[in-house]
Amino acid sequence: MNARENSLDLSRTRDRDQRTDGHLDNYIGHRAKLGVIIPSTNTAVEYDCQRIIPRGVTWHFSRFMIEHADLSDDENFMKFLDMLRQTIGASIASLMTCKPDHVMMGMSAETFWGGIKGNDGFVDRIQEAVGHDTGLTTGANAVIAALEALGVAGNSGKNIAVITPYQPIGDKNVRLFFEDSGYNVKHVVGLRCENAHDAIALLPDVQVMDVVRQVDGDDIDAIIQVGTNLSTADFFPVLEKWLARPVLPINIATIWHALRSCGITDRYDHLGRLFEEH
């Protein structure tokens, strides 16, 4: 799979027109069953998903064990990634027993690693694990698809700023991915969170807002927040209206991408332009 091909793929949606005596069967998840893979330390993805539950849609979560949550420096960040690669397979296997229509990866660092080439390899490995008849959303690809929907396409001279909870080595790979995707990356600000759980999830809103002010400018076309354990869906939509430019949380991008990939086009107010207009 090429990360540059980020248009929504509806080819794996299932036939949901199940009827009894001519009447549509409204069984649980009759529009879509969405499986979500998240780290065991993550408390934000479920919170954000549970705010967006369209009629006939169900979310099904599976956690993979994070045995090394220390993110205090580049060496520990790499150990964190190396160890999650060993545990994620069992989480996927467990999730697939509920037969989801689509799988969403509720983690992001690994999806940016190695730029487009690294992301393509990650997508190929996960697609093999979930099966080629099941749709797949990753953080990196969802953000690119969302930016394109918002009129901030790659290879069109657009300038972006990115906020992460990562250490420098994580920021380096985030920058590489977006540059590979055709963006001028003006700023990448890493918050240098020291662990994978409360150091990220408990970041004060005001601290993130300060960073948004720091990276914003007349030359910025969009601001993106990555790191799925940092929920910014409560206040980024307000900042987006205030700044008059896309301000995109990665969890909103992945949820939007997963729903739209299943043909679920319900729109929502107060979740940002992505859900209000696309």
Do 137 and 23 sit in the same domain of this protein? yes
Do 167 and 224 sit in the same domain of this protein? yes
Residue 216: per-residue pLDDT? 98
Following DSSP, what letter does each residue of 18-77 receive, concatenated?
-EETTEE---TTSSEEEEEEEETT--SHHHHHHT---TTEEEEEEEE--S--B-SSHHHH
Do 218 and 242 sit in the same domain of this protein? yes
Do 69 and 86 sit in the same domain of this protein? yes
Count of domains observed in the chain: 2
Structure tokens at 175: 């920058």
Do 23 and 138 sit in the same domain of this protein? yes
Residue 3: pLDDT above 70? Answer: no
Confidence band for 200, pLDDT divided at 50, 70 and 90: very high
Type of residue numbered 204: P
Q: Give this prediction's pTM.
A: 0.93
* Mean predicted lDDT score pLDDT of the chain: 93
Confidence band for 197, pLDDT divided at 50, 70 and 90: confident
Residue 9 lies in a domain: no
Residue 47 lies in a domain: yes
Residue 20: pLDDT above 90? Answer: no
The domain spanning residue 48 has which CATH number? 3.40.50.1860
Residue 58 lies in a domain: yes
Place of tokens 């206040």: 235
126 vs 197, which has greater pLDDT?
Answer: 126
Report the C-alpha gap between 122 and 126 in whole angstroms.
Answer: 6
Do 123 and 198 sit in the same domain of this protein? no
Residue 23: pLDDT above 80? Answer: no
Residue 4 lies in a domain: no
Place of tokens 């993550």: 42
Of 66, 77, 78, the C-alpha closest to 41 is: 66
Residue 6: per-residue pLDDT? 62
**Helices 115-130 and 74-96: angle between axes, nearest 10 degrees:** 30
Residue 11 lies in a domain: no
Residue 1: per-residue pLDDT? 45
Do 157 and 119 sit in the same domain of this protein? no
The whole domain housing 270 covers 19-143+251-277
Type of residue numbered 75: E
Per-residue pLDDT of 222-255, as tens digits, reads 999 999 999 999 999 999 999 999 999 999 999 9
Report the C-alpha gap between 241 and 197 in whole angstroms.
Answer: 30
| Mean pLDDT of all residues in 168-197 | 97
24 vs 100, which has greater pLDDT?
Answer: 100
**Helices 115-130 and 168-180: angle between axes, nearest 10 degrees:** 90
**Helices 205-215 and 236-243: angle between axes, nearest 10 degrees:** 30
The domain spanning residue 190 has which CATH number? 3.40.50.12500
Confidence band for 16, pLDDT divided at 50, 70 and 90: low
Polymer length of the chain: 278
Distances 128 to 9, 132, 135 between C-alpha atoms, Å? 17, 7, 11
Residue 4: per-residue pLDDT? 47
Percent of the chain with pLDDT over 90: 87
Do 122 and 227 sit in the same domain of this protein? no
Do 34 and 118 sit in the same domain of this protein? yes
| Mean pLDDT of all residues in 21-43 | 89
